């Protein structure tokens, strides 16, 4: 893709998120006094809601990053606003998978062979460390180990 085409796509994406932020502001104000109240009700981070309202955020290098919420996040937001999540999907350009097709080229939830191998090696290392710790603690299972008590104050 040419650089000019890529720039146009990025501008379209920014415009879509700015529009979403303006719409979200109106919907939020109908029900909540602030983004903090909405975030609390939705169970989301205040920064996430603020980023949605702003249509993204500026990164330290000066570039702009549009939000990329998961379907769960959009579901929480819809529930807190009393809206259908499908309406939010439409406004943000689709579900997470639809907005991120490159992440799903191998199929939903599929991992590359290298990733599977790395996870397997890490699991082996964790098991080795757990065995080592058990040996050092005298093979006492965690539930049977006496708890250390603090001296009275």
DSSP 78-95: HHHHT--HHHHHHHHTS-
Q: Minimum mean pLDDT among 84-88, 107-111, 133-137: which range?
A: 107-111
Instruction: Tell me whether residue 114 is in a domain.
Output: no
Determine the pLDDT at residue 113: 67
The verdict on residue 122 lying in a domain is no
In angstroms, the CA 10 to CA 87 distance is 22
Angle at 104 between CA 100 and CA 108, to 5 degrees: 125
Whether residue 88 lies inside any domain: the answer is yes
In a domain, 59, yes or no: yes
pLDDT for 5 equals 79
CATH assignment of the domain containing 74: 1.10.260.40
Give the domain range for residue 7.
3-104
Report helix, strand or coil for 35: helix
46-50 — which CB contacts under 8 Å span 24+ positions? 48/73, 49/77
- Per the structure, how many domains does the chain have? 1
Of 110 and 87, the structure prediction assigns the larger pLDDT to 87
Confidence of residue 141 (pLDDT cuts 50, 70, 90): low
Residue 79 lies inside a defined structural domain of this protein: yes
Q: Give the whole-number percent of the chain exceeding pLDDT 70.
A: 83
Whether the pLDDT of residue 138 is over 60: the answer is yes
The answer to whether residue 149 is domain-embedded is no
Q: Where are the beta strands (DSSP E) in the chain?
A: 57-58, 64-65
């Amino acid at each position: 893709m040419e650089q000019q085409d890529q720039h146009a796509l990025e501008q379209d994406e920014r415009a879509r998120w700015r529009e979403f932020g303006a719409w979200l502001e109106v919907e939020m104000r109908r029900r909540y006094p602030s983004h903090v109240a909405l975030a609390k009700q939705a169970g989301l981070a205040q920064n996430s809601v603020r980023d949605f309202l702003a249509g993204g955020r500026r990164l330290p290098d000066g570039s702009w990053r549009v939000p990329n919420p998961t379907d769960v996040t959009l579901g929480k937001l819809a529930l807190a606003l009393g809206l259908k999540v499908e309406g939010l999907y439409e406004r943000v350009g689709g579900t997470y998978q639809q907005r991120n097709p490159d992440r799903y080229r191998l199929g939903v939830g599929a991992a590359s062979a290298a990733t599977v191998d790395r996870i397997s090696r890490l699991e082996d290392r964790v098991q080795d460390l757990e065995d080592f710790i058990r040996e050092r603690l005298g093979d006492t299972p965690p539930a049977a180990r006496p708890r250390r008590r603090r001296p009275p104050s």
